[in-house]
Amino acid sequence: MNPAPLTGLVVDTMVISWLLDDRPKDLADEYRELVGARPVLIAFQTLMELRYGALSAGWGDVRRRSLERRVSQLTVVQPDDATVTVCAELRQHCRRAGHALAHKVHDGDRWIAAIAIRLDIALVSHDQLFVGAPGLQLLRMKERP
């Protein structure tokens, strides 16, 4: 029996870090409006990047616990066998299309995109890298002049 499909939006590391930061920031506010009340999902890769960022920045226990409380309210999507296949196929499609997401340096970004593709829901990202990725539904704010 297949689990119930997840709905909402997959949000990448950059945008979720803005959304979790309560300090006012114009671009973050625009992404908050874009996401609205839809459920936010993050890839396992994003959770790792958030934790690594906190450790690298030397956050103390209190601030790291606050991060953990915030992310515990989100759905963290783990890879299954189908996601592994989608990720491999995405890399191959990107390689054939000459898209940068095929490069090894973007392994983490590719996992995030594969999660969104596998779930057939949009990825919210401000990263130009995802533009034009085969099979990816992307939601992003336009660049400002």
Q: What is the mean pLDDT of each run of 10 residues along the chain (145 residues)?
A: 71 94 82 93 97 96 96 95 98 97 97 97 96 96 68
DSSP string, 3-22: PPPP-SEEE-HHHHHHHH--
What is the spatial distance between Cα 51 and Cα 47, in angstroms, rounded to a whole number? 6
pLDDT computed for residue 26 by the predictor: 85
Quote the tokens at residue 120: 């057939």
* Burial bucket for residue 91 (CB in 10 Å: 0-12, 13-18, 19+): buried
pLDDT for res 7 = 81
H helix intervals, 57-125 = 61-71, 81-97, 107-119
pLDDT of residue 143: 65
